[in-house]
Amino acid sequence: MIAKKLAVSLLFGAFAVGAALPADAQVKVGVVTSSTGPIALVGIPQKNSVPLLPATVGGQTVQYITLDDGSDPTATVAAFKKLITEEKVDAIIGPSGSPNAMGVIQFAAESGVPMLAPVGTAAVVLPMTEQKKWVFKTTQNDDLIAEALLEHMAKAGIKSVGFIGTADPYGDNWQKVFGEGAAKRGIKLLASERFQRQDTSLTAQGLKILSASPDAVLIAAPGSSSVLPQTTLFDQGYRGKIYQTHGAALPDFLKLGGKKVEGTILAASLMLVLDQVPDSHPSKKIASDYVAAYEKQNGSKPATFGANVYDAGLLLERAIPVALKGGEPGSAAFRTALRDALEQVKELPATQGVYNLTAADHSGFDERGRELITVSGGKWTLVK
Amino acid sequence: MNLQIVMLLGQDGITNGAIYALLALSILLVFTVTRILLIPQGEFVAFAALTMAAMQGGTPVRLGWLLLALAAAALVMDSHAAWRRDGRIAVRRGPALGVAYAAGLTALTTLVPLAEAGVALQALVTMALIVPLGLALYRVFYQPIAAAHPLVLLIVSIAVHVVLVGVGLLMFGPEGARTEPFSDGGLRLGMVMLNSQTIWVVAVSLALILGLYLFFERSLYGKALRAAAVNRLGAELVGISPELAGKASFALAALIGSLSGILIAPITTIYYDSGFIISLKGFVGAIIGGLASYPVAALGALLIGQAESFSTFWASSYKEVIVFTLILPVLVWRSLSHHGAEDEE
């Protein structure tokens, strides 16, 4: 009896949902984020940015299908397969995490669906392979950020540096990229320590760095986990220069760090210092509009991670009209044309910088995608 | 590696080890009394820390709503049980008072700004939220299946843990938080600066352990709990309610968990899902004590703290591997010394 009632109401429910869908939805875009689980801090602003993505492009309605993978790479694979085989999407934005993205590249490539990954690690697009041709990355490559930091270090006369990074692909890649860059400039890497986001104490890592006494320390950790190494070093009496990566570029960094993160140097997109960059910067207006729209909708400022998804929308907005000449949405020809069109995107200003994609570079940022920022008086300040 | 580094690492290990020891004791307490492996123990820690941080940061404290929902669920379950028994719906005073208490506290935490209230009052409000949460968890999730097989209880524990982590994400958001230290400065002991928070952690842990000892040795309720742990049926025969024993052990576990959370929050950044890994280390301590001996469990937890601290110094990437591998020789030794007589209930 109850089961029957349930079945009837489910049936009606299904009809209601079916009727609510826009009938003319033609371009289908899947979005996979980690809005729950350990990297939810990345996934939540990304999920919240989906309603801000362009709703119509080139006269076609775009339908977004959002799935959550719970930060679990296995669930990401399931979500991708569902989007590709059941929903027959034309492109996928996501996932949030680097390991999650590495695991799904082959599925996107096999079925020929362009994938726009808002993830940190450059490994999803470098080195370029036959499979990675289908992947585009909407974040600055680590080496671009590392280059800016290394330049600043060289100018400040820093000769030796210590490294603290998370024990995950983010920390791994930074150690690699930064280590290579530092060697080129003759900066010695004296100590290299790792930690987990949930660690309750970093005393040991701090002591190890202290006993090596480098001129500066680079901390490579995503989100608010970047704070604890720095406050620990401060408490232990380290007073050298501290550098952070774009992983620390979020409002909570200042809230958690307080006075102890004063003077930190980091390189990131212009989003933290929007009001300080000159109006001539191509990204200023787009980023300000995005931040305002996001704040209106969610009542809080977005972390950079959300803007990476928004940029994926802008890339699609540029590429879809071109791809429509190649085939009908929903067909393999359209998806291939979309991939080719994405690769041709030139001088596209977006929230993070300006995209210039090529067959070899699927991230496409230049120095307009990074700013040197310091913490001064408890506020993010542009380094002039 | 010189003496100063050894001292600093040791201090760090003692701070963490004291927290692990507290959690090991409460896991042990709940297990012996109710046969439940309290996996959600860590959530008490994380929720307490984040609630404190929310009060200090002036952001909304949402934990009251969870308590209110659980209290309401308890009321409904109680009325339902009364209806099944007597054929009419009756509202007993206990659960009704629980709902009123939860509603009052929710109103207090949402309406009164507690940012300027001072650490002591904030800690008190936090504990007033978490301790009944422990009670309500037992009433809603465990009491109906109290007689089930320990494996069933374990599975329910895992489920409760997973649900609470999800609810924690909803209540506190994905970002970590930290609270103000209780006091600034520290104590200079020879050449090592003792961090004031370390002193707080060690002092409160020692006081709590002493308090627990007195409670179990001297008070009637404590002795009743011990009796229930030693022999459930026998305790029931002499008039000790297993329901009361279960609730009391959960309330104690929640109290210890919330204290640990309040103590650890100024030292480190706590996330909504940090609790699990912290309580897991307490659990390893409890295992070293064979899930039976309180002093050995506490010592085991202290050992974990030291092992963690020193292994991080030598090989920070392999810290967790080293800490959790420690459990293997202990298990081997225990299984060799106990010739297979472990009963499975």
Over residues A199-212, the pLDDT tens digits come to 888 888 998 898 88
Inter-chain residue contact B176 with A38, CB threshold 8 Å: no
Please name the helix (run of DSSP H) or strand (run of DSSP E) that holds residue A363, with its range, or none: none
Q: Does B71 touch chain A (CB under 8 A)?
A: no
d(CA B157, CA B104): 28
d(CA A343, CA A229): 39
Q: Enumerate the β-bridge partners of residue A218.
A: A163, A243
A-chain residues within 8 Å CB-CB of B269? 224-225, 227-228, 256
B-chain residues within 8 Å CB-CB of A200? 16, 19, 264, 267-268, 274, 278
The separation between CA B168 and the C-alpha centre of its own chain, rounded to angstroms, equals 15
ipTM, two decimals: 0.72
Task: Kindly indicate whether the domain formed by B3-61+114-179+195-337 is annotated with CATH number 1.10.287.
Answer: no
Q: Please list, residue by residue across B160-187, b when 16 or more beta carbons sit within 10 angstroms of its beta carbon and e when fewer do.
A: bbeebbbbbbebbbbbbbbbeebeeeee
| Inter-chain CB pairs, A–B, below 8 Å | 89
B-chain residues within 8 Å CB-CB of A38? 273
Are the C-beta atoms of residues A257 and A235 closer than 8 Å to each other? Answer: no
- List pLDDT tens digits, range B275-324: 999 999 999 999 888 888 888 899 999 999 999 999 988 888 888 888 88
Confidence of residue B339 (pLDDT cuts 50, 70, 90): low
Torsion, Cα of B112, B116, B118, B123 (10° steps)? 40
- List pLDDT tens digits, range A108-148: 999 999 999 998 778 888 888 888 999 999 988 888 899 99
- List pLDDT tens digits, range B131-175: 999 999 999 999 999 888 889 999 999 999 999 998 998 898 887
Query: A165: distance to nearest CA of chain B, Å?
Result: 10
Dihedrals phi, psi of A218, to nearest 5 degrees: -105, 130
Tokens of A331: 């067909």
Residue window 130-189, chain B: list those with CB within 8 Å of chain A.
166, 169, 173-178
Are the C-beta atoms of residues A352 and A283 closer than 8 Å to each other? Answer: yes
Beta strands in chain B (DSSP E): 186-189, 192-195
List Cβ neighbours of A264 (8 Å cut-off, separation of 6 or more): A230, A242, A243, A244, A248, A257, A374, A375
Tokens of B177: 């938080």
* pLDDT score at A22: 43
Q: How many CB atoms lie within 10 A of CB A301?
A: 15
CA angle A360, A365, A371 (to 5 degrees): 155
CB-nearest to B316 from A43, A194, A197 is A194
- List pLDDT tens digits, range A203-256: 889 988 988 889 999 999 888 888 989 999 998 888 899 999 988 888 788 888
- Give the start-to-end residue ranges of the domains of chain B: 3-61+114-179+195-337
Q: Which domains does chain A have, with CATH numbers?
A: 2-140+288-366 (3.40.50.2300), 142-268 (3.40.50.2300)
Dihedral sign, CA of A5, A6, A7, A13? positive
Residue type, B160: V
Are the C-beta atoms of residues A222 and A166 closer than 8 Å to each other? Answer: yes
Please name the helix (run of DSSP H) or strand (run of DSSP E) that holds residue B296, with its range, or none: helix B294-314
B-chain residues within 8 Å CB-CB of A42? 174
Residue A309 DSSP SS3: helix
Give A52-98 as a DSSP string: GS-SEETTEEEEEEEEE-TT-HHHHHHHHHIIIIIS--SEEE--SSH
Dihedrals phi, psi of B251, to nearest 5 degrees: -65, -40
CB-nearest to A38 from B175, B273, B310 is B273
